[in-house]
Structure formats: structure tokens, C-alpha cells
Amino acid sequence: MTATPGGPPLLILGVRRSGTTLLRVMLDRHSELAVPDESYFVPQLADRHLRRVDADEFVDDLRRIDTLAEWDVPLDRVRARLPDASPIGAAIGTVYAVYAEEHGKRRWGDKTPMYMQNLRLLERLFPDALFVHLIRDGRNAATSFLSMPRGIVTENWMYPRDPAGFACQWRTEVKAARRLGRRVGGSRYLEVRYEELVDDVEGVLHAICKFARLSYEPGMTDYAGNVDVSAKPHQQSLTRPPTPGLRDWRTQMSPDDVGAFDRVAGDLLHELGYETHEAPDALGRLRRTSYGVRATAWRAASFGVRRSPLWRRRHPPLR
């Protein structure tokens, strides 16, 4: 295992609408850690350059990625630090490292929920990475996602459009991240509950900092009013301090929708200790009978993602 200069990267995992942006914003306020907004480009670069990179070709590809222009990463500095035949993971890590240095920090992280479909790839690319997996009650995450402004998800036909579809993605991705945790072990994987984060912000951040080998800094919680969300209507909760109860499936989901979610993912809700209305044996039977809808929804979410407008906008063709 090759150690990353400056310290291991910290990768935030979580199903979309699980509070990963909130956690990213707080961790990014640490004086030693830079966690930019969602990147999207890691699988694309890994697919294109495989195991080793030609430095000039790699940097030429970087010039066509809009995200890096938005991050204002000086690509000449990336090129200066990048020898030919670097492993692709080290090359991608160099991009993040330069970003971190530009912000006066020694370590970097990432928060891109789309990468929940690429966990094996992350594990291979960044062999010393630390993973913080943020889990939220899937019914509250579904309520949040399905109430997002339609313009954000319009035309993204592969994204879940109903509670059963979201339950399929939530169950599959949470289980995949927990399998990753078993593979890499407790020294590299930490599981955090969103509900605990918003109830005890300082306590949970202390635990994350200890896991990440960082000192706790009180300023991490002082983000309200310091984050520009003017162009992100779905992130307006960042204008206030961490607030429990922003979503409550008990009052915001219909009984039919709750039942649809439970039929797909009730067994995992029970396993994680969340309230359910069915006995474990019944949940197992419900899950088995719902396999068809779960598999169909997940295939749409997984294999259709690269046809979405979001993916195309973030990933111009690299020719």
C-alpha cells in the first residue's frame, strides 16, 4: 500500500439525500482538509486511462472537465507533479492534492453519492483511503429526494421516481458500502447515522475527526450563512444550523408509500435498528416477493446513469 502524501484521503459515502452535503460542508471547514463539491469525473478518468497514465494525455483530458474549471485547479501544477506511467489512482489523487494545496490544506476528501455505484473502483484507486459512511433512514431520504424541485431531476429518467424505486437504490447502495466496510476493516471504515449527526453535532464530529486522524475544530459547525446555496434550491437547509426533524416519513409519507418502501428495504431498516411495522420474518417474505421491482429499478438507476443530462454535462467527450 502506498501512503498518500499529506495523509490518507477521506471519502464520504452515502445514498443521495442522506446528509452527505451537510457533512462535506462541515469537514471542508477543517483547516487541514479540503472536500470539494461533487466531482463525477473519477470513473470516467479511470475508464479512459486504465492502470497507468501518459501525463500529457491525462492533463489534456483534465482540461475538458468542467468541474475542474469550476474548482479553479491550476492544471500546470498538476502536470509538474505528475511523472509518466503514474498509477491512475495516484494521478487522480494529484488533482485533489493540488486543489487542497490551493486552499491551504494538506489533505483532501471527496463526496459524490454517484460513487456508491463504484465502491470497488474507489477501493482500488485509493488503497489507503478512509471511508465515512453516512446512513439516514431511507424513508426520510426518499421523502427528501422525491420532493426535490422537478427541474433538478427532470429528464433524469433513470433516477427513482417512487418510494419503491428509491428503496431499491437505498438498500443496494447501503449494503454495498457496508460490505466495503467489512473488507477494509474498522481502521478504514466508519459508519455514522445522520440522525445522530444532527442531534449531537459536536460529538459525532469528534468521533469522525478521531477516526480521520484530525484534531477537532469547533469552527466546523459554523457554516450557516457561510455557504453559497443561491443556485441550489435543494440545499437550502444549509442556511441554518443542523436541524433534527427536517423530514419525518411518519407524517410526510402515505401508508401506501411506507408499505412500498418496506416491501423492498424493510429488512435493512430492521437490521439498522430503524422503526418498522413488520416482524423480521414477514419483512424477509416481503423482500423476496418484491425482488422483481427492486431489480428493475436498480438496473435502471445503475446502467442508465451515463445517459443522464447531469452525467453528460459533467463529462464532455474526451477525444
Q: What is the pTM of this model?
A: 0.85
- Main-chain dihedrals φ then ψ at residue 132, nearest 5 degrees: -110, 115
pLDDT score at 239:
52
Q: Note the pLDDT of residue 160.
A: 73
**Residue 189: which of 238, 134, 237, 226 has the closest Cα?**
134
Q: Cα separation of 105 and 30, whole Å? A: 9
In angstroms, the CA 110 to CA 37 distance is 8
Question: What is the model's pLDDT at position 63?
Answer: 95
DSSP assignment, residue 106?
Answer: S
CATH tag for 10-314 (out of 3.40.50.2300, 2.120.10.10, 3.50.30.60, 3.40.50.300): 3.40.50.300
Could you list the pLDDT tens digit for every one of the 319 residues in the chain? Answer: 557 878 999 999 999 989 999 999 999 999 999 999 999 999 999 999 988 899 999 999 999 999 999 999 999 999 999 998 999 999 999 999 999 999 999 999 999 999 999 999 999 999 999 999 999 999 999 998 888 765 544 444 456 778 999 999 999 999 999 999 999 999 999 999 999 999 999 999 999 999 999 999 999 998 776 665 444 544 556 556 676 667 789 999 999 999 999 999 999 999 999 988 765 555 455 554 444 555 555 555 554 444 444 445 555 556 5
DSSP secondary structure of 234-273: GGGGGGSS--TTS--HHHHS-HHHHHHHHHHHHHHHHHTT
DSSP states of 13-31 as a string? E--TTSSHHHHHHHHHTST
DSSP reduced 3-state for 303: helix
Residue 315: the pLDDT is: 53
Using CA atoms, how far apart are residues 82 and 91, in angstroms rounded to an integer?
7
What per-residue confidence (pLDDT) applies to 226?
A: 62
H-helix or E-strand spanning residue 86: strand 86-87
pLDDT the model gives residue 276: 85
- pLDDT given for residue 145 in this prediction: 87
How much is the pLDDT for 248? Answer: 87
Nearest to 128 by CA among 84, 185, 79: 185
Q: What is the pLDDT of residue 254?
A: 93
DSSP state of 2: P
> CA Rg, the chain, in Å?
20
